[in-house]
Chains A and B, each alone.
Chain A
Amino acid sequence: MKPDMADETALVAQLATGDRAAFECVYRKHNASMLRICEGMIRNRATAEEVVQDSWVAVLNGIGRFEGRSSLAGWIFAILVNKARSRAQRDGRMISFESDGEEDGLAAAFDGRGRWKDMPDLWETITPDRIVEGRNMLAHVAAAIDALPASQRSVLILRGQQDLDPSEVCAILNISEGNMRVLLHRARLSVRNSLDAILAGSRS
């Protein structure tokens, strides 16, 4: 048993009794990530907000059926992704999180023998608070994440921000573990590339 599972059982019990503070805590932890994933799938802010609200209602109504077979976060995101998927289908679009088949962001970085054409920079001046082009590096990261395709964006948020287990991420998005790793790596490369471009711009 994981050390935080006892806490989670208590939290679920509080949610089931209608404890508002417990709900606010869970809401604050996940809502922004839910909205980002949903917007990636639905591509419309207002509709995405509706779907996220519907998901929270379903979470609270269904909390009595939560059995702890996944983490609470995993269960909540599964509800969200299913609702977003149905909504997209209703609007005539199929959502698949299978790898997008694109080349990764380093396709042009190497010569024919697999060596760097340009040496990567050391990024010695980067800190989360550093302001470049009017915003700090964290805001640049957030913007880069929002620019990712839905599949990469979802994996990066679930794995790299919400810290869900790989098996949960794969179950929620219906992808294989190998596929998830590819998507996570590509997502990081894209974020890395935009940070590198921003830092290079600030040096010149």
Chain B
Amino acid sequence: MLSCKEVAERASALIDGELGMFDLLQMRLHLAMCKGCSAFVRQMRITRDLTASAALLDDQRADEVDRRIAAILSRLPDGRHTGP
């Protein structure tokens, strides 16, 4: 029987689908009986999903992006990337 500490250590592997059959069964057995670990695994799933969503926050302002892209393109040797 896994302890809560051991379940917590395997939480990322569980939510990423990386556990082998034996570990997975042990985890499920523990989670079926332990409210604390179930809540923790739920927190880790929420954390994973919010982390993925947070990447979309970085939407930058259009004029700022234009300025930076222009700066990059001006450094190319052959005048490429001048089209629309």
Separation of A141 and B46 alpha carbons in the complex (Å): 11
Most chain A CB within 10 A, of B9, B47, B52, B81, is at: B47
A27 to chain B, nearest CB (A): 6
Q: Does B69 contact A (CB under 8 A)?
A: yes
Number of A-B contacts (CB under 8 A): 139
Contact flag A18-B82 (CB < 8 Å), given A56-B72, A138-B54, A142-B54: yes
Residue-wise interface mask of A (23-54) relative to B, using a CB-CB cutoff of 8 A (1 in contact, 0 not): 11001100111000000000000000000010
Q: Which residues of A contact B57 (CB under 8 A)?
A: 138-139, 142
- Residues of chain B at interface, number, CB under 8 A: 45
- Residues of chain A at interface, number, CB under 8 A: 51
Contact flag A57-B50 (CB < 8 Å), given A121-B39, A181-B13: no
Residue-wise interface mask of B (52-71) relative to A, using a CB-CB cutoff of 8 A (1 in contact, 0 not): 11110111100001001101
Contact flag A160-B51 (CB < 8 Å), given A21-B84, A122-B39: yes
Q: Are A188 and B8 in contact (CB under 8 A)?
A: no
Separation of A121 and B68 alpha carbons in the complex (Å): 44
B18 to chain A, nearest CB (A): 8
Contact flag A161-B52 (CB < 8 Å), given A142-B57, A185-B12: yes
Separation of A184 and B14 alpha carbons in the complex (Å): 13
Separation of A37 and B44 alpha carbons in the complex (Å): 22
Q: Which residues of A contact B4 (CB under 8 A)?
A: 110, 114-116
Contact flag A123-B42 (CB < 8 Å), given A20-B83, A185-B11: yes
Contact flag A32-B80 (CB < 8 Å), given A53-B71, A120-B40, A188-B44: no
9 interchain residue pairs of minimum CB distance: A114-B3, A32-B58, A18-B80, A114-B5, A161-B55, A185-B12, A120-B39, A120-B40, A141-B54
